[in-house]
Amino acid sequence: MFATETDSEVAAFVVEEELAAGKTPEQAVHAALKRLRGAFALVYLFEGEENLLVGARHGPPLAVGAALTAKTLGRNTVAVSFTGDGGSNQGTTFEAMNMAVVLKLPAIFVFENNQYGEGTAFEYAVGSRDIAGRAAGFGLPAVKVNGDDFFEVHEAAREAVERARTGGGPSAIEVDTCRFYGHHSGDAQLYRAKDEVRSLREDRDCLKHFRRRVGEAGLLDGAELDRVESEVAALIDHAVEVARAAPPPDSEALLRDVYVSY
Amino acid sequence: MALKSIRQALNEGLAQEMRRDPRVVVIGEDVAGGAGSQGQRDAYGGVLGVTKGLFGEFGESRVIDTPITESAIMGAAAGAAVTGLRPVAELMFCDFLGVCFDQILNQAAKFRYMFGGKAKTPLVIRTMIGAGRSAAAQHSQSLYHIFTSVPGLKCVVPSNAYDAKGLLIQAIRDDDPVIFCEHKLMYDLRTEVPDEPYTIPFGEANIVRDGDDVTVVALARMVHYAGEAIDALASEDGIECELIDPRTTSPLDEDTILESVERTGRLVVVDEATPRCSMAADIAALVADKAFAFLKAPVKRVTAPHTPVPFAPSLEKLYIPSPERIAEAVRKVHGYAR
């Protein structure tokens, strides 16, 4: 038996049970998730497996609601929503920012401005061409950062998280970035200039910038970065392999998780 | 007559109406595509290419790319319609109805009634319905029954290119708000389509096939699945079905359905939507109410289950009513004895 007052502890406990039964960390999480019901967002870290992080989510935790939960229950959690330049124009986004200010919620609105909403340019679709400025109009601290610069993004996020955790209410961060791919996998991207993607890959790859910065500062050398990159690539390959090898859902899954059946 | 796809038929109908009437404008997300970018200015022509080429002919004042803001698109289109334009607004996926329903439900649908018949709202909302592309629960629904339930809205659900063009032109010329539902898996489906403009009146069902044993009513893609089932039933079981495609769910051609059931005494309704408060339920209720004395068997509804549309291809296949399930329902109804 296991007694706890917080549901999130159960999520860790069931994984421990599966580990004790001799499963690998990934197998344990996989098995544990089958036993969980309801909405959750979980990240598992394992002692002795410093390079492994298993994330799972069920049900969309909408930022304002999640922040309200955190505030009401006195949790240290901060709600972070990620929206594009396209989504920044939605009325719902405006309402959410306003409510977060009114209720002084620990919420962070991150706007990844990658210059396109589907095939329409930010330049055209965002009237003020200033997402952070518009967010500021709702009364929340808002900054615009260079998305190519890991350290600038990290610093802005740190400040916003700290503000949220110390009762300072919501923040907005507009991340000026770009995209190397289309809106969806079949997007021919005819709306882009001919060499646009090539020059972006050349000049605006945040990983390239990161490599240069940490190299110049003497924090990590090229060999170390190469090792991390190949480790990450292997992790991704492994995850894809595991997912591909997993069986398709059984037919009963069609009717599962619906409150009423007819 | 030339064979044309539903995509071509709709494109042709739009272009012809825009040429005929300068008040017709197209407005929506990426209806041209590429606004403000450095590449092609009409890169998309609608997410599945239905409005491709209109930008080149009619320009940005009549083929209007908008931000991704469904409430503003529907509100602007309703406001423009009531003040003199004839907008064809695009709600890319009918699922996005959730974002903008107030503008449709409480504004566009209500103007004529609340202003004592003095206001006209000649608005067409083109929208995509349907499962089958693993587009998951938020991009795969068939929500025509929701539009159908709202007084003040008309709702069109075509199943072939000929009907699509005639009904779209009819919708553009209609003085009331019309929701025009296009099944996303049917755009490449070809039928013979006249080059010249023509209209098909609302509220007139198409009898796709004659038969005296069982009446089958089906909408959109289900017309074709029902057709497959009916072919198999005719050759394997000797059961002759009458297949009715209502084409518009509001107004609904009740007479054609009732007359058929009076003759066959048996009814199967096929609907890709979920079962509760659906077109299947609506048509079953109609027949129970107005043709009860003629029924020789209980009415059968073949629908999706009461679940969101699943993403996994294997589950999505189970979700969508199949020709096999339709045939099974027809056999049950045909073999029923009191």
* pLDDT attached to residue A101: 94
* pLDDT attached to residue A97: 94
Residue % of chain B over a pLDDT of 70: 100
Active-site annotation holds for B139: yes
Q: Which residue in chain B is spatially nearest to A125 when comparing CA positions?
A: B67
- Residue B118: other Cβ atoms inside 10 A: 8
Tell me which residues of chain B, numbers 135 to 194, contact chain A at a CB-CB cutoff of 8 Å. Answer: none
Q: Is it the case that residue A60 has pLDDT exceeding 50?
A: no
Between chains, do A118 and B30 touch, taking CB under 8 Å as contact?
Answer: yes
* pLDDT attached to residue A5: 63
Contacts by A12-15 with C-beta closer than 8 Å and gap 24+? Answer: A12/A44, A15/A44
Cβ pair B209, B230 in contact under 8 A? yes
User: Among A30-34, B147-151, B168-172, whose mean pLDDT is lowest?
Assistant: A30-34
Between chains, do B67 and A126 touch, taking CB under 8 Å as contact?
Answer: yes
pLDDT tens column, B173-222: 999 999 999 999 999 999 999 999 999 999 999 999 999 999 999 999 99
Q: Which of B44, B306, B315 sits opposite A262 (nearest CB)?
A: B306
pLDDT band at A28 (very low <50, low <70, confident <90, very high): confident
Cβ pair B291, A243 in contact under 8 A? no
In one-letter notation, the amino acid at residue B27 is: I
Cα four-point dihedral sign B227, B228, B231, B236: negative
* pLDDT attached to residue A3: 66
User: Among A33-47, A132-146, B72-86, B169-183, whose mean pLDDT is lowest?
Assistant: A33-47
pLDDT tens column, B244-303: 999 999 999 999 999 999 999 999 999 999 999 999 999 999 999 999 999 999 999 999
Task: Say how far apart CA A160 and CA A142 lie, in whole Å.
Answer: 9
If we measure between CA atoms, which residue out of A140, A155, A137 comes closest to residue A106? A140
Q: How far is B329 from chain A (nearest CA, A)?
A: 17
User: Once rounded to an integer, what is the mean pLDDT over residues B301-310?
Assistant: 97
In CATH terms, the fold of domain B3-192 is Rossmann fold (3.40.50)
Q: Is it the case that residue A262 has pLDDT exceeding 80?
A: no
User: Once rounded to an integer, what is the mean pLDDT over residues A72-86?
Assistant: 89
Q: How far is B298 from chain A (nearest CA, A)?
A: 18
Task: Say how far apart CA B123 and CA B153 lie, in whole Å.
Answer: 10
Q: Give the single-character DSSP code of A252.
A: G
Task: Say how far apart CA B160 and CA B227 lie, in whole Å.
Answer: 13
In one-letter notation, the amino acid at residue A22 is: G
Task: Say how far apart CA B222 and CA B245 lie, in whole Å.
Answer: 9
Task: Say how far apart CA A191 and CA B30 lie, in whole Å.
Answer: 10
* Same fold across B3-192 and B206-335: yes
Does the bond joining B251 to the residue before it have cis omega, within 30 degrees of 0?
A: yes
Q: How far is B38 from chain A (nearest CA, A)?
A: 5
* pLDDT attached to residue B73: 96
pLDDT band at A59 (very low <50, low <70, confident <90, very high): very low
The distance of Cα A129 from the centroid of its chain, to the nearest Å, equals: 24
pLDDT tens column, B122-136: 999 999 999 999 999
* pLDDT attached to residue B149: 98
Residue spans of the domains in chain B: they are: 3-192, 206-335
List domains and CATH numbers for chain A. 9-59 (no CATH), 63-182 (3.40.50.970), 192-228 (no CATH)
If we measure between CA atoms, which residue out of B105, B146, B303 comes closest to residue B222? B303
pLDDT tens column, B51-99: 999 999 999 999 999 999 999 999 999 999 999 999 999 999 999 999 9
User: For residue A244, which residues of chain B lie inside 8 Å, CB to CB?
Assistant: none
Q: Which residue in chain B is spatially nearest to A126 when comparing CA positions?
A: B67
The residue among B337 and B332 whose pLDDT is bigger is B332
* pLDDT attached to residue B56: 97
The answer to whether domain B206-335 has CATH 3.40.50.300 is: no
Between chains, do B305 and A254 touch, taking CB under 8 Å as contact?
Answer: yes
Q: How far is B20 from chain A (nearest CA, A)?
A: 29
Under an 8 Å CB criterion, which residues of A touch B?
86-87, 89-92, 116-126, 188-194, 196, 248-249, 251, 253-255, 258, 260-262
pLDDT band at A36 (very low <50, low <70, confident <90, very high): confident
Task: Say how far apart CA B155 and CA B167 lie, in whole Å.
Answer: 10
Supply the mean pLDDT for chain A: 89
ipTM of the complex: 0.83
Cβ pair A111, A194 in contact under 8 A? no
Q: Do strands A40-46 and A49-58 pair parallel, antiparallel, or not at all (unpaired)?
A: antiparallel
Q: How far is B314 from chain A (nearest CA, A)?
A: 7
User: Once rounded to an integer, what is the mean pLDDT over residues A19-48?
Assistant: 80
The residue assigned the tokens 């029924």 is: B295
A–B interface: beta-carbon pairs under 8 A: 113
pLDDT tens column, A240-256: 999 999 999 999 999 98
If we measure between CA atoms, which residue out of A138, A149, A93, A99 comes closest to residue A117? A93
Q: Which of B36, B306, B307 sits opposite A124 (nearest CB)?
A: B36
Q: B61 touching A, CB under 8 A?
A: no
Task: Say how far apart CA A177 and CA A191 lie, in whole Å.
Answer: 18
> Which of B65, B66, B68, B139 to probe the A interface (max A CBs under 10 A)?
B68
In one-letter notation, the amino acid at residue A241 is: E
Between chains, do B67 and A89 touch, taking CB under 8 Å as contact?
Answer: yes
Q: Give the single-character DSSP code of A250.
A: P
pLDDT band at A126 (very low <50, low <70, confident <90, very high): very high
* pLDDT attached to residue A135: 97
User: Once rounded to an integer, what is the mean pLDDT over residues A50-76?
Assistant: 72
Q: Is it the case that residue A230 has pLDDT exceeding 70?
A: yes
Three state DSSP letters for chain B: CCEEEHHHHHHHHHHHHHHHCCCEEEEECCCCCCCCCCCCCCCCCCCCCCCCCHHHHHCCCCEEECCCCHHHHHHHHHHHHHCCCEEEEEEEEHHHHHHHHHHHHHHHCCHHHHCCCCCCCCCEEEEEECCCCCCCCCCCCCCHHHHHCCCCCEEECCCCHHHHHHHHHHHHHCCCCEEEEEECCCCCCEEECCCCCCCCCCCCCEEEECCCCEEEEECCHHHHHHHHHHHHHHHHCCCCEEEEECCEEECCCHHHHHHHHHHHCCEEEEECCCCCCCHHHHHHHHHHHHCHHHCCCCCEEEECCCCCCCCCHHHHHHHCCCHHHHHHHHHHHHHCCC
Cα four-point dihedral sign A198, A199, A205, A211: positive
Q: Inter-axis angle of helices A206-216 and A222-245, to 10 degrees?
A: 150
Which uninterrupted H or E stretch holds A206?
helix A206-216
> Which of A254, A257, A261, A262 to probe the B interface (max B CBs under 10 A)?
A254
User: What length is written for chain B?
Assistant: 338
Q: Is it the case that residue B105 has pLDDT exceeding 90?
A: yes
Task: Say how far apart CA B265 and CA A2 lie, in whole Å.
Answer: 62
Listed in sequence order, the residues at least 6 apart from B83 whose beta carbon sits closer than 8 Å to its beta carbon are none
If we measure between CA atoms, which residue out of A192, A171, A176 comes closest to residue A78? A171
> Which of B55, B65, B69 to probe the A interface (max A CBs under 10 A)?
B69
Task: Say how far apart CA B211 and CA B224 lie, in whole Å.
Answer: 16
Cβ pair A164, A70 in contact under 8 A? no
